[in-house]
């Protein structure tokens, strides 16, 4: 608002330079683009991302199946690592040898991660494809929505940064133009600048 009021006051100011008006116009256009275009880009990007992620989640739910695996044997912990992040990841899961039957009736056995207190004979949930091969848990709707919102915010942020970068580039060019004009004015003033009898 201050920018608009400043531009309005400059209409008839005798000290107004053309570059001042151009700089104010660049700021006004940039503000309008940030307020109008950036949210539209963010909304559009978020909506497109949400649609794509929901389709991907539906496809994953159709292709992935929850099954129960049975613990055959609890495997020993790997050697202790001094890295605290690795240690916490190791403590959160227990490696077990497990068996499961795929949706197509095929039998499988492999090393899996189970909860720390897993015992032989215990059953726990895993996700497999149609042939019983292990896959990740399918994307749920809440996660898809979160990713879409983040994509929209990111797109709006990038748009804002691009518009502000363009405004800064315009202001930089205008400043260079002002400095050039000042240099020319100083050269015109010549050696008489500051002398008491310069006007006589």
> Percentage of the chain with pLDDT > 90?
34
Which residues 6+ apart lie within 8 Å of 39 measured at CB?
Answer: 156
79 pLDDT exceeds 70?
A: no
Please provide residue 67's backbone torsions phi and psi, each rounded to the nearest 5 degrees: -130, 165
Please state whether beta strands 94-101 and 123-128 pair in parallel, antiparallel, or not at all (unpaired): unpaired
Of the chain, the end-to-end C-alpha distance in Å amounts to 47
pLDDT, mean of residues 23-37: 89
Give the max Cα distance, the chain.
Answer: 110
Laid out side by side, the sheet with 65-74 consists of 107-114, 94-101, 65-74, 123-128
Matching residue, tokens 């497990």: 98
70 touches 123 (CB < 8 A): yes
Average pLDDT for the chain: 81
From CA 30, how far away is CA 27, in angstroms rounded?
A: 5
From CA 26, how far away is CA 6, in angstroms rounded?
A: 13
From CA 37, how far away is CA 158, in angstroms rounded?
A: 11
Tokens of 196: 């008491």
The helix-helix angle for 18-63 and 141-189 (nearest 10°) equals 160
62 pLDDT exceeds 70?
A: yes
Element (H, E) at 156: helix 141-189
Residues 148-176 have pLDDT tens digits of 999 999 999 999 999 999 999 998 998 88
3-state secondary structure of 69: strand
From CA 100, how far away is CA 108, in angstroms rounded?
A: 5
Counting every residue written for the chain, the total comes to: 200
pLDDT, mean of residues 104-108: 89
Lowest mean pLDDT among 9-23, 47-61, 117-131: 9-23
């Amino acid at each position: 608002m201050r920018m608009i009021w400043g531009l309005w006051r400059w209409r008839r100011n005798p000290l107004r330079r053309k570059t001042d008006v151009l700089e104010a116009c660049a700021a006004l256009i940039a503000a309008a683009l940030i307020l109008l275009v950036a949210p539209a880009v963010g909304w559009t990007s978020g909506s497109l991302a949400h649609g794509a992620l929901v389709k991907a989640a539906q496809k994953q739910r159709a292709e992935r199946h929850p099954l129960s695996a049975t613990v055959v044997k609890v495997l020993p912990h790997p050697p202790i690592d001094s890295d605290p992040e690795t240690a916490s990841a190791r403590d959160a899961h227990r490696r077990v040898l497990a068996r499961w039957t795929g949706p197509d009736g095929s039998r499988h056995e492999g090393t899996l991660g189970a909860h720390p207190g897993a015992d032989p004979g215990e059953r726990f949930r895993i996700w497999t494809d149609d042939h019983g091969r292990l896959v990740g848990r399918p994307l749920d709707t809440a996660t898809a929505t979160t990713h879409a919102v983040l994509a929209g915010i990111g797109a709006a942020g990038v748009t804002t940064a691009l518009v502000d970068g363009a405004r800064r580039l315009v202001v930089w060019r205008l400043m260079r133009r002002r400095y050039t004009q000042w240099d020319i004015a100083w050269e015109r003033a010549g050696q008489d600048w500051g002398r008491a009898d310069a006007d006589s």
